[in-house]
Structure 1
Amino acid sequence: MKPFCLRITAAGAMAALLLAGVPAAGAAKARAAEAPEEPALPSVSASSYLDYAAQAAGVPDGGEEIILPAPDGEWALEAGERAEWTVSLPQAGRYRISLTYLAQSQQGQSPAVTVLLNGETPFEQSGGLALDTVWVDDGVTQTDNRGNQLQPDAREEARSHTMVLRDNSTVHDGELLLALPAGETELAVEAAQPLVLYEARLLPPAETPSYQEVSAAYPSAQTGAVWELEAEDLAERSDAAIRRQNDQSDPSVSPNSPRSLLLNTVGGSSWKQPGQSITWRLDVPEDGLYTLSFRYRQDLVAGLPSFRRLLIDGSLPFAEMQAVAFPYSSGWRTLTLADAQGEEYLFYLEQGEHTLTLAVTLGEKGDFLPAMEESIQFMNEIYRDIIMVTGVNIDINRDFNFEEELPSLLPDLEALREQLTATREAIGQLQSDGGDQASGVLGDILRQIDEFLKRPSRIPERLDRFRTNISTLSDIFADMQEQPLELDVIILAGNAAEPEERRSSLLEKLWFRVQIVAYSFVQDYAAIGSVYGGGEPLQVWINTGDILSTGVASGRDQAQILKDLIDEDFSVSSGIPVELTLTSVGDSLMQASLSGVGPDAAVFVPEATPVNLALREVAADLSDKEGFEEMREWFYPSALIPYTLGDGVYALPETQSFYMLFYRTDIFESMGLKPPDTWEDFLDVTAALQKNNLEVGVPENQAVFEMLLLQHGGAVFNDDITEITLTTPEAVAAFTQWTDLYSQYGLPLYFDFFNRFRSGEMPMGIAALSFYNQVAIAAPELRGLWRMVPVPGTAGEGGVSRAQSASGTGVVVLKGQREDDAYQFARWWVSAGTQYTFGQELELLMGTAARYHTANREAFEKIPWTQEEREAITRQWEQTTDIPQSPASYYISRSLTNAFRAVLYSQRNPRETMLRYNTDMQKELERKNDEFGLSAGGA
């Protein structure tokens, strides 16, 4: 579809996007004061929004509203398509952009758009601007047969929305202003997902009246009405991740029970990202002036308030509601909205239904977070400049003349000290008791900088502590962007009313706690959801330990998601009730199964376990089950390899992970480097980085050897799994290459890749796919500064091989009377629909950090990776294979580790070392095969 282009002429003006309410820096104010009559416009593609805002400081506000219609009243845009308008303006000015649209989340992603001026993004944040969606409960809150309330499903409402574009992805969460020059400008809105666009509007900056101005027009009215609303009884929310919570810390939280888990609050850690909002319906009993109170707890960000923007019927009632502060509180307290002098705000409401919305905003934190982010980046640059002179492993006995070798260092430290001092003062104004961590770290850094400036010769010996403080400050910065808030009750009280505050006495709290302890002796907290009597339900164990190792956080919430899916889908369609038990599988599954008290099936079982169960004739062979051949197509062939023994398959794949290469794009660009395609390229890039005293990370584990072995065309076993084949030329070459990475090319054996990648001292490394989860969430300051690509390959006659082994988990069906039912469950569990829904619910609950690495190919396509990320993962996945499991796998792992250490630590010859250990591994394989009666092929 070609973009629709419409010429719009207006007497107003346009400009580039500027954060409403964010004060310009001092330099920007000076430029604005000196601006000529024709205002200076921002440069195209400014690096950040703050830069752009500073450049646009002299541009006047726009005039009248400009309507930009869609043809025929609506415009269906597919992903990547644009709506374009030619706007003709007599003078430059600043405008907000309002869109009216209909969109639904695609593959778990919120709809988003990119704004372009004359075909280019004016600054980084103008790409991927999230659009609001509305989520409601799909049905009522259910209760299991033990009295525990279950989270209701969330359903997105398909209805049109009108919103002013905001930037919620960074430290700037205000409305964006667009500034265009006088004359014609091409304005475009590009859809990231399919949406129907009805119209766009260019609005002048909003001016909301103050409380004093609004209240002057209030009628004289007295009312003694009091109306309370349980906060968990919300009407809608902007994000399905916002959840109801259970709290048993205080009996005054309502409703409550010492025996059952009731969903009696809302928000907490699930309601903390800028832009997230909750809306309630208020049933106002009579016309009048009312106060608003909230019973809340904010105990997750110590010492600092959380901010919310308050809307009534979709609009700000007055300017003071732009950022309502909820101070830090370790326990439950009631906040009545009031000014700084304690004078309560009054809201005039007419009788009937109204809506109340609280939206997460940075509030006063927005005054210092941008500067704090800039300071962290500056500190990392200073640190990298220093280690490019000293190296990472510093010889503290060597003298460094920084004035000559790094003449910019001392001026940079002076500038950094000034930035951090201002940031510390701004944080101090917001802090309350218990919130001294940020100030303490900043104080420590400032003392270090003073020491560096007084005695530059002491910098090398104190650099490690400086790096630690950078990492700590980065963590604090990430935490400060979050605005968690948990609500219990909303109270609407007339100006003549005196509502009672809910409190629990010490005795009440003590008695409530005693009851909780007493009930713990009769409740089975390992069981998830409904519990059934007798032997009818299918017994399924969910392994907590290995969920964590595969990049998915473990715990009751994740198990509850699976239980909900079982009860709502599997049990309904099959008629088979399931009892789910949270446990650490490990050896307990083997022992329980051999003793006859094991489950019928187990999920998230480590890949080494199914074959071990099969060798002991406990696991069922699934290869001869109905529909198995059809299921093979659900996965890449590599996914079934570790669960295969002979002709049998003893587990179905759930998750699958493998290595990717991660690199810092900012550092690579500054050094003129490209990500490596082959291992030869990898060593060239490594050498270039090492010349600048930077490091490269490659894990020193067996998976790296297997990667090199497979790329060379080698194998651990012969086809029959009766011989160890690690003495072939291919295997010896792979083993030598593996050890050379550390002995000849100086790669570190042990390192904290996340923190070194974050600081920039290790700008390239190989890590598991789950590393993406960690960086995306825990290092927000690196947004847009790193990429993930396939691992380096080995060039051969057929091209570049990127083969590697994988890791993962599977669902095991145990032999027994319920074997067919358990297989039916396992087949349902690994299907595309179930895997996608589980992953989606998990990510909605815990964010990107819990992204689920499903082995199902169709489900993977629906997970919200960007197109670039999806293509990179798919390219690597298609070349991934695996190493078969054998009775001697444990011994092979141990022997390879010992062989590696012999070469690295004792300088043994790689070829001779491999020959020796191959003999030992062969003996163990033969012994184990004899023990289990295995012939050729493991049969």
Structure 2
Amino acid sequence: MNKHIRIGRRVLAGIMALVLVSQVGIFDTVKAEENEAADVASALNYYQGSSYLEYLSGYEDASFGKDVKEIAAADYSESQGDVEKTEGQIIYTGEDSEVTWEFNVQSAGLYNLMVEYMSAEGNQNGIERNILVDGQILYKEMQYVSFTRTWKDVEEIKEDINGNDIRPAQEEVQEWRKVYVYDSARYSNAPLAFYLEAGTHTVTIQGVREPMYLASVTVRAEDGIRPYSEVKAEYAQKGYSAAAGEPVKIQAENLYRKSDYTLYQTADRSSAITEPQHPSQVKLNQISGNQYKLAGQWITWEVEVPEDGLYNIALRYKQDLLSGMFTSRTLLIDGEIPFQEARNLSFGYSGSWQVDALGNDEERYEFYLTAGEVHTITLEVTLGELADVIAKVDSSLTQMNQIYREILLITGAEADIYRDYNFDDMIGDTIENMKVQADILKEVSVYLEEEVGAKGEQVVALDKLNCQLEKMHEDPTQIASNFSQYKDNIASLADWIANVSEQPLSIDYIEVIPSGGELPKAEAGFFGAVSFEVQSFINSFFTDYSTLGQTVLAEESENQTTVEVWITSGRDQSNIIRQLINSSFTPQTGINVDLKLVNAGTLLPSVLSSQGPDLALGSVMGDPINYAMRNAVVDLSQFSDYEEVAERFHESAMVSYTFDGAVYALPETQTFPMLFYRKDILEELGLTVPNTWDEFFEVVSILQRNNMEVGFPQGMPGMQIFLYQNGGSLYNEDLTKATFNEDATLDAFQSMLDLFTTYKFPRDYSFQNRFRTGQMPLAIQDYTEYNGLSAFAPEIKGLWSMAPIPGTVEEDGEINRASACSGTCAIMLRGTECPDEAWEFLKWWTSADVQASFAQEMKSVLGKAAMHATANMEAIASLPWTKEEYTALYEQWQYVTGTPEVPGNYYVTRNIGFASVSGYTTGNADELLHWTEETNDEIARKREEFGLDQ
């Protein structure tokens, strides 16, 4: 029996003894000493402190300070880490940098911070920094402050050979920006403020993610922005009048600058008069609210007006994604907010396109623009009037998660509804806090109903949780019976915050109209709409939707080679690959590509009938060897530069695609498990991240003592962790038999079973939901779960991280963290008539630059949850990981172990699953022995079928 399992069982015995202790005793024992907790928090890089709202509540009567202190970046008083003076007063700061400036103020009061910065070459991710005043992070919003990059389209929109628009490539523009510091979630419409007494102070900017250049930092109160009434009065005083001339229309897709490469052009077919439009061809004619919705994003357009004078600004827009709510934008003209009302412009919900001039219920806003110069119009996503509301609910959610965990300590995950837990005596303060949080939710619900004018679906989550909290407060005996539903309602509230924090707005065009001019119509007339729909319907019978359009080379000749490539992953992925082919592969190589989107089950029958493509992308790990046994794929190792190409990948990635000395695929993706952990909960319990299995089981004992859970992969993936860390393998040396009856495999299987039987680890669960509530603060999961947590659990940003999985200590003291991997691949079919050209495509597709570009585009199209798990080790380094995250990933990657694919291997996976199901009941590893003969018989039968033993 493995050493760590024996130790783990002794720990379990201790847990069982502690169960006899009173619940109050258990509750008290988990509280760590304050100084120890502070040390743990520091080790976990976890900030423990108040929110911005709580901080400001202590300065309700404070006024803004009068001083303005602008400091050249190079005039810092102290620096640490990756900091370098470049030219003049500019400094370069990396991810591990820390720069401090000293200054003096004579006027006490609230101040803001302005930073003049420019992005530096990095991984093209958002820039994040921590802000410290007098050596402290004053509130949690000063952690992970974001600074946007600046992007532009490289060229105008082009068409493919079918007349469909092709989205232009994008590039980053390194331009200086001077901005106030806001919280990254934009829960405050104004810049972050901090109180300074008269005297000497310091401000520190600490690197977190991505490098940046700094030119200056300025401590000052934000300039007062006048209300529109004063601006309008000034216009009248100066004698400004409505401009003459025709309106100027700016197509939204023809943008000048933007904050994010996710803000790309898309096609709208919902309206006949969206500009431009075509009944059969794809026209990129809008900026879509599916991308243009995250607080802090901005887009800038350029405009020249024919005459000096007053203008209205009108938008043709659609907000059909946030039902029953309005979304908001901040308007900037030539980089400045023109008046107070322009900070929060609202756009109401409607299922169809609308045209409105910017204004209020009484009047359109007027803007004075001069002829002869280029003006910029910027619309920045803001939470508007919802900012304070969302901030309140977010703060309340933190409290409700704490309430959940305090109940969890007493009842466990499955509360006994027939047991009297004596909640009044044990958590009296928590019960009172329920009432406080219920009142906050009720207040917010009433406010939203008044603003929207009806009780819509957006307040359902608030009302349900409010009702439940009031019920549990009034009658604590109902806490146990409501506990499970309470957890679900908290998750729903977190989703509500994420949904409402998104401010979608689609824009067709912006029109600058002489003041008082007529607005364009929002929709086509009846006959125009019907005509467009009829034409679209007729053309649908003649359009091949499986073939994605390609460009035509100027030098194309009749005998030019075309490589046919099939992809099964999805239309969004296909469109991105098509764009990369058109902009990169075909111009560089002179090889055309016919890219087709097909169903996953189409490839095998097509190959068997000799109707298959030259290449197939997105094949699952078992396909290459399965096809190779049928002589259907090409051995890629025959190409002269194969060894050079193979160096792009970790050696483990090639194992599953290699058989009998031949290599039948190149890896596209490779995934493996990581250890996810909640920093805040480990800190509360005085725990650190486990490095070995001994440490892991010690942490498990504390978490389970506090009725929390630990996640672990069940079945074959879980077994392989123990198997590979102890030097075992799934097959014998010549790959003719599975090792089900060998001691190493049985020990590994027993180790995995013990976690689910003796330690009662959950088998079926939603990792994201349990992790975000704190019910499962520690789990070994595929590292792609990082994407989902980043996208769907923003409320715990900064409270969690991932680390290499625990390992087995070897005789030399090294820690073996071995684990299995999974992934997808690209294969070349045997029937190809252009193997050299197909090989060129494979080399291009799996190269670092292309994989990195594809990953960035995937994220831009599908959001944070779609980070591409590329197998190219150079490409993954350029993806938007922090230095800490990439270091952890790279360390674990070095231990990843590939699993060979053999004929009949499906029996191995299937039968380990069957043995696991039985083993979860009996707890006996001998269940695996029952499947040994059947599994090895199937492997032998397949080897005979394919003539491998001759």
RMSD: 2.1
| Alignment match, 2:414 | 393
2:385 alignment partner, SS class: helix
Tell which deviates more after alignment, 797-806 or 782-791. Answer: 797-806
1:925 & 1:639 partners in 2: Cα distance?
23
Among 558, 562, 569, the alignment partner of 1:537 is 562
Tell which deviates more after alignment, 399-408 or 287-296. Answer: 399-408
1:368 alignment partner, SS class: helix
2:649 alignment partner, SS class: coil
Among 870, 885, 893, the alignment partner of 1:854 is 870
| Alignment match, 2:203 | 187
| Alignment match, 1:782 | 796
Tell which deviates more after alignment, 790-799 or 306-315. Answer: 790-799
| Alignment match, 1:456 | 476
| Alignment match, 1:475 | 495
Greater relative contact order (CA < 8 Å, ≥ 6 in sequence): 2
Among 89, 92, 116, the alignment partner of 1:74 is 89
Preserved contact between residue 292 and residue 491 of structure 1 (Cα < 8 Å): yes
1:303 & 1:817 partners in 2: Cα distance?
57
| Alignment match, 1:584 | 599
| Alignment match, 1:373 | 394
Does 2:767 align with 1:753?
A: yes
Matches within 5 A, 1:266-285: 266-285=287-306
| Alignment match, 1:345 | 365
Could you say if the C-alpha distance between residues 622 and 520 of structure 1 is closer, same or farther in structure 2, counting changes exceeding 3 Å?
Answer: same
Matches within 5 A, 1:880-919: 880-905=896-921, 907=922, 909-911=924-926, 913-919=927-933
1:214 & 1:151 partners in 2: Cα distance?
40
Deviation at 1:811, TM superposition (A): 0.8
| Alignment match, 1:116 | 132
| Alignment match, 1:249 | 270
| Alignment match, 1:484 | 504
| Alignment match, 2:109 | 93
Preserved contact between residue 307 and residue 324 of structure 1 (Cα < 8 Å): yes
What is the identity, as a one-letter code, of the residue corresponding to 1:579? D
Preserved contact between residue 807 and residue 817 of structure 2 (Cα < 8 Å): yes
Tell which deviates more after alignment, 919-928 or 555-564. Answer: 555-564
2:865 alignment partner, SS class: helix
Preserved contact between residue 113 and residue 127 of structure 1 (Cα < 8 Å): yes
Among 277, 287, 298, the alignment partner of 2:319 is 298
Preserved contact between residue 101 and residue 195 of structure 1 (Cα < 8 Å): yes
What is the identity, as a one-letter code, of the residue corresponding to 1:650? Y
What is the identity, as a one-letter code, of the residue corresponding to 1:635? F
What is the identity, as a one-letter code, of the residue corresponding to 1:602? A
Preserved contact between residue 417 and residue 480 of structure 2 (Cα < 8 Å): yes
2:353 alignment partner, SS class: strand
Preserved contact between residue 692 and residue 806 of structure 2 (Cα < 8 Å): yes
| Alignment match, 1:7 | none
Quote the sequence identity (%): 33
| Alignment match, 1:130 | 146
1:464 & 1:509 partners in 2: Cα distance?
50
| Alignment match, 1:47 | 50
| Alignment match, 2:576 | 561
Could you say if the C-alpha distance between residues 201 and 457 of structure 1 is closer, same or farther in structure 2, counting changes exceeding 3 Å?
Answer: closer
What is the identity, as a one-letter code, of the residue corresponding to 2:533? R
| Alignment match, 1:604 | 618
What is the identity, as a one-letter code, of the residue corresponding to 2:827? V
Deviation at 1:259, TM superposition (A): 0.6
Among 828, 841, 858, the alignment partner of 1:842 is 858
Tell which deviates more after alignment, 301-310 or 393-402. Answer: 393-402
1:97 alignment partner, SS class: strand
Could you say if the C-alpha distance between residues 395 and 84 of structure 1 is closer, same or farther in structure 2, counting changes exceeding 3 Å?
Answer: closer
What is the identity, as a one-letter code, of the residue corresponding to 2:900? P
Matches within 5 A, 1:722-801: 722-798=736-812, 799-801=814-816
Deviation at 1:221, TM superposition (A): 1.7
Among 610, 614, 634, the alignment partner of 1:620 is 634
Among 421, 430, 453, the alignment partner of 2:451 is 430
Could you say if the C-alpha distance between residues 473 and 81 of structure 1 is closer, same or farther in structure 2, counting changes exceeding 3 Å?
Answer: closer
Preserved contact between residue 715 and residue 726 of structure 1 (Cα < 8 Å): no
Could you say if the C-alpha distance between residues 76 and 69 of structure 1 is closer, same or farther in structure 2, counting changes exceeding 3 Å?
Answer: closer
What is the identity, as a one-letter code, of the residue corresponding to 1:116? L
Among 835, 838, 843, the alignment partner of 1:827 is 843
Q: In the TM superposition, what whole-angstrom CA distance separates every residue of 1:392-428 from its partner, at most 9, and x where no partner exists?
A: 1233232332212332342121111111112212322
Matches within 5 A, 1:637-786: 637-786=651-800
Q: In the TM superposition, what whole-angstrom CA distance separates every residue of 1:886-919 from its partner, at most 9, and x where no partner exists?
A: 11110111111111122223x27423x2222112
2:562 & 2:551 partners in 1: Cα distance?
9
Q: In the TM superposition, what whole-angstrom CA distance separates every residue of 1:583-615 from its partner, at most 9, and x where no partner exists?
A: 233x42121111111110011111110110111
Among 166, 170, 173, the alignment partner of 2:182 is 166
Q: In the TM superposition, what whole-angstrom CA distance separates every residue of 1:177-207 from its partner, at most 9, and x where no partner exists?
A: 3433322222333455444333222332321
Could you say if the C-alpha distance between residues 908 and 50 of structure 1 is closer, same or farther in structure 2, counting changes exceeding 3 Å?
Answer: closer
Could you say if the C-alpha distance between residues 202 and 459 of structure 1 is closer, same or farther in structure 2, counting changes exceeding 3 Å?
Answer: closer
Among 482, 493, 501, the alignment partner of 2:513 is 493
1:600 & 1:859 partners in 2: Cα distance?
25
Unaligned runs of 5+ in 2: 1-46, 75-86, 553-557
Preserved contact between residue 104 and residue 111 of structure 1 (Cα < 8 Å): no
2:304 alignment partner, SS class: strand
Preserved contact between residue 625 and residue 659 of structure 2 (Cα < 8 Å): yes
Q: Return the TM-score normalized by structure 2.
A: 0.89
| Alignment match, 1:61 | 64
Could you say if the C-alpha distance between residues 454 and 190 of structure 1 is closer, same or farther in structure 2, counting changes exceeding 3 Å?
Answer: closer
What is the identity, as a one-letter code, of the residue corresponding to 2:160? D
What is the identity, as a one-letter code, of the residue corresponding to 2:141? Q
Could you say if the C-alpha distance between residues 211 and 631 of structure 1 is closer, same or farther in structure 2, counting changes exceeding 3 Å?
Answer: same
Q: In the TM superposition, what whole-angstrom CA distance separates every residue of 1:640-676 from its partner, at most 9, and x where no partner exists?
A: 0110111001000111001111121111111122222
What is the identity, as a one-letter code, of the residue corresponding to 2:920? L
Matches within 5 A, 1:392-431: 392-431=413-452
What is the identity, as a one-letter code, of the residue corresponding to 1:263? L
Deviation at 1:862, TM superposition (A): 0.9
2:182 & 2:371 partners in 1: Cα distance?
33
| Alignment match, 1:139 | 155
1:100 & 1:400 partners in 2: Cα distance?
57
Q: In the TM superposition, what whole-angstrom CA distance separates every residue of 1:212-271 from its partner, at most 9, and x where no partner exists?
A: 111112125244542322222222112121011211111021111111110111131111
Could you say if the C-alpha distance between residues 233 and 676 of structure 1 is closer, same or farther in structure 2, counting changes exceeding 3 Å?
Answer: same
Preserved contact between residue 620 and residue 824 of structure 2 (Cα < 8 Å): yes
Deviation at 1:69, TM superposition (A): 2.2
Deviation at 1:59, TM superposition (A): 4.0
Tell which deviates more after alignment, 816-825 or 531-540. Answer: 531-540
Could you say if the C-alpha distance between residues 168 and 450 of structure 1 is closer, same or farther in structure 2, counting changes exceeding 3 Å?
Answer: closer
Could you say if the C-alpha distance between residues 127 and 754 of structure 1 is closer, same or farther in structure 2, counting changes exceeding 3 Å?
Answer: closer
| Alignment match, 1:10 | none
Preserved contact between residue 82 and residue 190 of structure 1 (Cα < 8 Å): yes
Preserved contact between residue 403 and residue 409 of structure 1 (Cα < 8 Å): no
Deviation at 1:375, TM superposition (A): 1.5
Deviation at 1:333, TM superposition (A): 0.7
What is the identity, as a one-letter code, of the residue corresponding to 2:802? M
Preserved contact between residue 624 and residue 827 of structure 2 (Cα < 8 Å): yes
2:872 & 2:493 partners in 1: Cα distance?
39
1:457 alignment partner, SS class: helix
1:673 & 1:188 partners in 2: Cα distance?
29
2:442 & 2:185 partners in 1: Cα distance?
26
Q: Return the TM-score normalized by structure 1.
A: 0.90
Does 2:541 align with 1:509?
A: no
1:904 & 1:69 partners in 2: Cα distance?
65
| Alignment match, 1:208 | 225
1:363 alignment partner, SS class: coil
